Structures are given as C-alpha cells and as structure tokens.
Structure 1
Amino acid sequence: MKEADIDISSHTSNVIDPEILNRADYIIILCGHADEHCPVI
C-alpha cells in the first residue's frame, strides 16, 4: 500500500469469530509466512 501512497500502518488484524469460522466454506490467508506465524485453523 505504501507504493500507492496509502498509509495503513495503524491498521490491525481482526480476530476470527469461531461461529463465523464454523460456517465458512473457504478460509483465505493473506500473509506469505502463515505456515510459521499464524495459528492453525
């Protein structure tokens, strides 16, 4: 986003609501190092 001159440095990730997660057909992870740093779902 920095390349597009948009500041998102104050943004944070949202916690996944277990109820919504149980109803989801797909989960899309947008971080490249998710296998090492993100919790297993």
Structure 2
Amino acid sequence: MTINQKRMQLFEADLRSAFELLDLKIEDESHLHAGHAGAASG
C-alpha cells in the first residue's frame, strides 16, 4: 500500500465517521501537481 492509498483510506474513514454519507468517491489527482512549486513527492 502506498502512502497516498493509506492517506486516502484515513481521509475516507474520517469523512464517513463525521457525516452520514450516501456515497463517497475520492479521486487521487496528485499526479496533476507533479512539478509544481511546493508539490511534495510521495
């Protein structure tokens, strides 16, 4: 499991515990920020 996958799982768990969600879709678009100033690798 990558760090981004683990981070997304934790984020999803937090959202589900805080809200009564009917549906939740989290998309990892971090690749769109590669090379941007201030973008962290990983």
Structure whose alpha-carbon radius of gyration is higher: 1
When you count helix as a share of all residues, which structure comes out higher?
2
Range of TM-score over shorter length: under 0.3
TM-score calculated relative to the size of structure 1: 0.27
Of structures 1 and 2, the one with the larger relative CO (CA 8 A, separation 6+) is 2
